[in-house]
Amino acid sequence: MTEDSKTHWANVFSKWGRRLPGLSEEESGEFQTAVKAGNLSKAISVVKKSDELLRNTKLNIAIVGESGTGKSSFINAIRSLNDKDTGAAQTGFIKTTKKPTHYLHPKHPNVILWDLPGIGTPNYPAKTYSKDVNFDRYDFFIIISVQRFTEADAHLAKEINSMGKKFYFVRSKVDVDLANDQKKGNFNEVETLEEIRNDCMHHLRKAGIISPQVFLVSRFDLDKYDSPQLQETFANELDTHKRHVLICALPSTSEEILKEKQRALQEQIWKQALKSCAIAAVPLPFLSVYCDVSILVDNMTEYCTSFGLDDGSLASLAKQFRKSVFELKSVIKSLLAKDISRDEALKRLREATGEGMMTAKYFLSVIPLIGTGIAAMISYKVTYEMLHTFLDEVEEDAQRVLRKALEGAEKN
C-alpha cells in the first residue's frame, strides 16, 4: 500500500471512531489496527471473517405460553406467514406442545423460533424445566399470555430470570380485549390498554421481576399497539451480528421496522464496497467488473428479500391484507427491484461509473501500485454509492407497498 493510499483509507474509516458499523467491538479493533499499519489485506481479511460469521450466525428464540394464548399465530407472524400457509405452525385447535418444536424462518433460516411446552406440566415440572427444555440454547424468551396473568406465567418469569436470561412478556389478542371492553360502554382505548399493561406489570413485580418489559400485541395488527416496539426492543438488545440477522428477518409490517432494516443494511455497505476495492487492486481488469456485478446482484437480492419485495413475500402480504399481488407490485418503482439481473446491474454500473471512467479504470488497473490503487478507490466509491442508492429505492418501495396493503385493508 502506498503512503497516499494508507492516508486515504485511514481517513475513510477514522470518522466512525472505535466501533465500525457492522463490526463487533473486537472486529473493529482488529480492523483499525490493520489500517493504521497500512495492512489493507489484513483489514479486508477481518471484513471477510466478519461476513462469514454473520452468514453463520444463528438466532434461537423461545416462545412459551399455555395452549390457546396464540403462540402458533405469533410464530407465524414473526416468520411473515399466514396461519394457513405451507410450513406455518398449526393453529385453530387446542393442543399441548409435548416437546420443544422448532420453526425455521422461510427466508432467513438462521432465525429459529422454538415452541416450548408449558412449565409445570407432568412431563416438564417446574424444578427441572430449565434443564428439560435446554435453556442455554435460546438467545431470549417471549412469554405469551392472554386474558389474565396465570400462575404458570409467574413460574416461567421467575425461572427465566433466575437463569439470567432475557425475556419479554407479551399479552396477545389485545384486539379481542378491546372489542370486549367496548361493549361495556364508556370505552377509552388508551385507558383500557394502560389498565392491561399495569396489571401485567403488577403481577410480574409480585413474581420478583424488577424491571419487567410488557408488550400488548395482536397477531392481526403487527403495525399497531406495541408490536413495532417489541420487535425493535428485542433486536436492539442483541449483539452486533445477531441484531442484524433478526432485523432483516422481521416482518415488513410497520414503517418503524422498515427504517430499522434500512439502517441495519446501510451498516454493511462499506464492507461490500471494500471487497470491490480489494478486487480492483488485482491487476486483472475484467475480474473487477465481473466481481462488482456479483457483489451488486447479491446485495440487491438480499435487500429485496429483507424488505419483503420478493414474489413469495408479496404473495403472503397480499393474502394477509386481501389485496392482489398486482396491486402491491404496481407501486414498486425501482426497475431493479422488479427484476434483479446481472445485465441490469452491469448497465447501472456503467452509468454510475461513466464510460470514460470505466475505460480509464481498465487501463489503470494494470499499472502496479499507483494505478491499481486509483482503480481500487474508484471501485469502492462507485459500489458504495450504488448500494446506498438502491437501498434507498427499495426502502421507499417497501413503504409504498405497506401503505397500499394497509389501504382500507380487511385482514384475514
Mean pLDDT by 10 residues, the chain (412 residues): 53 61 87 80 87 93 84 88 84 66 93 87 80 89 86 84 86 85 80 89 88 84 81 84 93 89 93 75 53 84 92 89 91 81 71 49 42 60 86 94 82 52
Domain boundaries, the chain: 57-249, 255-406
Calculate helix-pair angle for 240-249, 285-306, nearest 10 degrees. 60
C-alpha cell at 334: 425501482
Nearest-angstrom CA–CA distance, 86 and 265: 29
- Taken in order 355, 357, 362, 363, the sign of the CA dihedral is positive
Rounded Cα distance between 89 and 86, Å, is: 9
- Would you state the pLDDT for residue 392? 94
In the CATH hierarchy, which fold is given to the domain comprising 57-249?
Rossmann fold (3.40.50)
d(CA 31, CA 56): 20
pLDDT of residue 15: 58
Cα distance between residue 90 and residue 100, in whole Å:
14
Angle at CA of residue 225, ends 224 and 231, nearest 5°: 80
Question: Nearest-5° angle of CA 4, CA 352, CA 311?
Answer: 125
Q: What is the pLDDT of residue 326?
A: 93
Helix (H) or strand (E) holding 76: helix 71-78
pLDDT of residue 364: 42
What is the reported pLDDT for 395? 96
Residue 396 has what pLDDT? 96
β partners of residue 121:
124
